[in-house]
Chain A
Amino acid sequence: MKWTFDNDRPIYIQLVEQLKLFIISGILTPGQRLASVRELAMEAKVNPNTMQKALSELEDLKLIYTKRTSGKFVTEDDKLISKYKKALALEKANGYLQDMQKIGFNQTEAINFLKEDRK
């Protein structure tokens, strides 16, 4: 898993986003056991407390869950994963439409632009 950060936004929020993306994109698969907080923190080169905070947030979002003795696991709820996937796709699509609007494309033009030959 590859981790990147901007220093001007809270690190834990960026951890949540990246872990979410790992789940949505299937890099972390449903039911997969996560490495320990400390191991994940080492991998991302962040403070274990920050990683803990990010994992708690993912747990609130129900994207991961804790089995009391054996650690944390990725949710097996495919519907929930698709829901987050769709939400993220919507966000990206809206971002695209907004950017295109800034350079003078209305929505239909922006959509058609994607369908046309873009070479």
Chain B
Amino acid sequence: MKLLECKNVNKRFGRKEVLKNVNLTIPKGKIIGLLGPNGSGKTTLIKLINGLLEPNSGEILVKGEKVGTKSKKIISYLPERSYVDFNMKVKELIKYFSDFYDNFDSDKAYKLLDRLNINADDKLTTMSKGMKEKVGLIMVMSRKADLYILDEPIGGVDPATRDYILDTILTNFNEGASIIISTHLIADIEKILDEVIFIKEGTIYLTGDADKLRTKKGKSIDEIFREEFKC
């Protein structure tokens, strides 16, 4: 069965059309790059899939069912901006997640945090931006989900942190699950992508197998992106 399907999805904010007739299918067991410049509609699409926004028309199906309580159980979502209360301690955050999600693995979260030498009694407010991003990612990857959606997980962090984040994504996703990673920093992640989706001005511009695209164009995904989206 298809994991995720978007059928003729349209979204407007006032008179502005943010997504135009988006059709997409996401299969199981793939890592997919949702690639597009700023303002192309990546985050809006992600919010629709997570049920934080409603489409004006069209349909989004997760495992054949409309977005709702059920789909939220099987999608683990890392938003672009964190929604957690930074006054919490790490252990409170873990408690919060395990209360919320049946599929949250606290042991795994503690193990991953331990590796970063993060103390469970540390408050999030005391942490650097990069460290907060790592904690956020650990929370999301500690769920046994069918679909992980990571909105700009590597934006604004240093290269070492970027490596850590990519490593954590690769080592921790549930087998058989799919991952959608939205970003405009393509060179850093293209090595791990199975498939790419290029989105431009709210329209799906190009989709395909990353290695096949490299063969066809003789270029890296990053170079193809730079060409297609030349300003």
Contacts and interface: CB of A to CB of B under 8 A. Distances in A.
Interface of A: 5-13, 38, 41-42, 45-50
Given A41-B170, A47-B192, A7 B30 contact: no
| B-side interface mostly | helix
B191 A5 contact: yes
- Give the top 10 A-B pairs by smallest Cβ distance, nearest first: A7-B220, A10-B211, A8-B220, A47-B192, A10-B214, A8-B219, A47-B31, A49-B194, A10-B215, A7-B190
A103 B52 CA distance: 63
Nearest to B220: A7
Contacts of B192: 45-47
Contact of A11 (B29, B187, B211): B211
B29 A8 contact: no
A7 B221 contact: yes
Interface of B: 29-31, 166-167, 170-171, 175, 187, 190-194, 210-212, 214-215, 218-223
A38 B175 CA distance: 10
A45 B219 contact: no
A110 to B, nearest CB: 29
7 contacts: A7-B222, A8-B218, A8-B219, A10-B215, A11-B211, A45-B167, A46-B191
B204 to A, nearest CB: 22
Given A46-B191, A50-B194, A8 B171 contact: no
Contacts of B187: 7
Contacts of B211: 10-13, 50
Contacts of B220: 6-8
Nearest to A12: B211
B223 A8 contact: yes
B162 to A, nearest CB: 12
A41 B220 CA distance: 20
